[in-house]
A and B are shown apart, each in its own frame.
Chain A
Amino acid sequence: MLTLQCPYCGVMADETELSAGGEAHLKRFGPGSSDAEFETYMFMRENPKGVHFERWRHANGCGKWFHAARCTTTLEVFGTYSAQVSEPPQDIKDAITAKRPGWAWREFA
């Protein structure tokens, strides 16, 4: 039963208020992309044991999408941040580094 703080309305939201939206920071591949690019975009999800970045929606709250950095083995939450960025902000990365030195996730670390 997770709790995540919605970065928009500030509410510490219970999991029942939220809906999970899968991997964060996907780069969309549309018409003109290769089959491999499109497959990667659609299906090749990160599935790490440890630090993960994902999208959530405060569905039964303010309705806003946001990002969360979370650990999939301990459920520790490193931070939540705006949905409108294409990579994790530095303060979130720093927070993770403080707790999980040497972490890596996709091209971000």
Chain B
Amino acid sequence: MRRYSAFAIAREAARYHTGWERAWASPEPKKKYDVIIVGAGGHGLATAYYLGKNFGITNVAVLEKGWLGGGNTGRNTTIIRSNYLQDPSAAIYEKARSLYETMSQDLNYNVMFSPRGVIMLAQTHHEVRGYLRTAHANALQGVETQFIGPEKVKELVPIINIDGPRYPVLGGLWQPRGGTARHDAVAWGYARACSAMGMDIIQKCEVTGVRRDGDKVVGVDTTKGAIDCDKLGIVVAGHSGVMAEMSGFRLPIESLALQALVSEPIKPCMDVVVMANTVHGYMSQSDKGEMVIGGGTDGFNNYTQRGSFHHVEETVRALIETFPMISRLKMLRQWGGIVDMTGDRSPIISKTPVDGIFVNCGWGTGGFKAIPGSGWAMAELMAKGYSPLANEFGMNRFAEGRFIDESVAAGVAH
């Protein structure tokens, strides 16, 4: 892999950029791999990357039925934060956040991680108490957060209206090292690094069956033929249920539409990410200048990548209440993704009833921010059979009634 740098750009400019090599190779599948990861989204690619980097396992194929990074990795609102309440969540999201800090250097690919800070607004007394609780928990969990008053909120976000007649801002939970990153670049950067380690990223290759020998996985059938493997990682988000069925077990997953939208670009006006959970909306400004806006999920199973417009209405209404100036901006584009939800809205990173098959899914509305942590934990689980970060996220927890519920402290899991 030739390194990217300002020097490399200058060198290539001299020859009209005709000398750049492919960011990742486009190989045909081999007969057998030590590990096959199904799903070349952020989580799948990160899993492959850490298998190679942390455990030296590089005979790996990542199979993708469409194009890499084409699912929710490229459809989210790019927020990165780790101010979660429950220990297991805080641990994995903080691991992810800390890996984002050095990701551009680690991958030699600028993912534009921008630790601009994230505020979750408290607009009711109940929310104030909830965020105070999170702040206390975070202090013990090693997550740097702080509860701030309305004046400080206004100072950080000059365009905010803290005196709304219905839901005045009473304060907020502030995570200064949260922020955003360029979502596509995360997938591309991992893909390039995996490819450089000799892994095969095989796009337009759909898995059509999982082959087992008794209780053990031995390979997969794909649209590009059968491929053998010792271990199989299923990292396919909304399509996990289908893959699980092929493998012979079930997952507690439902697929719902989640929508987002962007405004037309304007000059910089908001340097932090703001989430307003009482009124159900969140907003940040991209480097291009678009206001990036998201809200809640639709209520029914849906694979169309389209949502219902009234959710967009509710979100925009809420954000105009919080940021009156956006009333005179225009919505440029709205889109939907399919999010995979578990019974407690927390992910599953787990062994399965089939020996050699591991599953990583259920990230719901919070997947992007977790990508490096999720890949780190999944790789460790697949390589060693145990990962402290993944341990609490086993799929057995539903039978035990041992939930990881992040909705409890006035939070939503975006």
Task: List residues of chain A with CB under 8 Å of any chain B CB.
Answer: 1-2, 15-16, 19-20, 22, 35-36, 38-40, 42-45, 47-49, 52, 54, 72-75
List residues of chain B with CB within 8 A of the CB of A19.
299
Q: Counting CB contacts under 8 A, is B253 at the interface?
A: yes
Contact call B300/A45, Cβ cutoff below 8 A: no
Bound complex: CA of A47 vs CA of B300, how far in Å? 10
Q: Does B212 contact A (CB under 8 A)?
A: no
Q: Which residues of A contact B250 (CB under 8 A)?
A: 40, 44
Q: How far is the CA of A57 from the CA of B83 in the complex (A)?
A: 35
Given A39-B399, A42-B343, A47-B253, check contact A54 B301 (CB 8 Å).
Answer: yes
Give chain B residues whose Cβ lies under 8 Å from the Cβ of A54. 300-301
B252 within 8 A of A: yes
* Minimum Cβ distance to chain B for residue A27 (Å): 15
Q: Which chain B positions have C-beta within 8 A of A40? A: 250
Give 7 new A-B contacts, CB below 8 A, not counting A2-B308, A39-B399: A15-B310, A38-B399, A39-B252, A40-B250, A44-B251, A47-B255, A74-B304
List B residues 294-330 near A (Cβ within 8 Å).
Answer: 299-304, 308-310
Residues of A within 8 A of B242 (CB): 49
Q: Tell whether, in the assembled complex, residue B252 and residue A45 are in contact, meaning their CB atoms are under 8 Å apart.
A: yes
The number of inter-chain residue pairs (CB within 8 angstroms) is 54
CA distance A20 to B296 in the complex (A): 14
Assess whether B380 is interfacial by the CB under 8 Å rule.
no
**Residues of chain B in range 254-313 having any CB-CB distance to chain A below 8 Å:** 254-255, 299-304, 308-310
Instruction: Report how far A81 CA is from B343 CA in the complex, Å.
Output: 27
CA distance A36 to B395 in the complex (A): 12
Max chain B Cβ within 10 angstroms of own Cβ: one of A16, A39, A72: A39
Check if B310 sits within 8 Å of A43, measured CB to CB: no
Docked complex Cα distance between A20 and B300 (Å): 6
Q: Residues of B contacting A22 with CB < 8 Å? A: 254
User: How far does the Cβ of A8 sit from chain B's closest Cβ, in whole Å?
Assistant: 19
Q: Is B241 an interface residue (CB 8 A)?
A: yes
**Shortest CB distance A106–B (Å):** 12
Pick from A15, A39, A72, A74: contact of B301, CB under 8 Å: A72
Main SS at interface, chain A: mixed
Give A53 Cβ to nearest chain B Cβ, in Å. 10
Contacts of B342 in A (CB 8 A): 43
Residues A72 and B241 in contact in the complex (CB < 8 Å), given A36-B399, A39-B398: no
Contact in complex: A16, B310 (CB < 8 Å): yes
Which residue from B300, B308, B398 sits with its C-beta under 8 Å from A43? B398
Pairs A–B under 8 Å by Cβ, sample size 30: A2-B308, A15-B308, A15-B310, A19-B299, A20-B300, A22-B254, A35-B400, A36-B399, A39-B398, A39-B399, A40-B250, A42-B343, A42-B398, A43-B252, A43-B343, A44-B251, A44-B252, A45-B254, A47-B253, A48-B241, A48-B301, A49-B303, A54-B300, A54-B301, A72-B302, A72-B303, A72-B304, A73-B303, A74-B304, A75-B302
Q: In the complex, what residues of B have CB within 8 A of residue A2's CB?
A: 300, 308
- Closest B residue, CB atoms, query A73: B303
Interface string of B226-263 (1 = CB under 8 A from A): 00000000000000011000000011111100000000
Output the nearest chain A residue to B238 by Cβ-Cβ distance.
Answer: A47
Query: Across the two chains, which residue of chain A brings its CB closest to B253?
Result: A47
User: How far apart are the CA atoms of A36 and B310 in the complex, in Å?
Assistant: 38
B299 — which chain A residues lie within 8 A by C-beta? 19-20
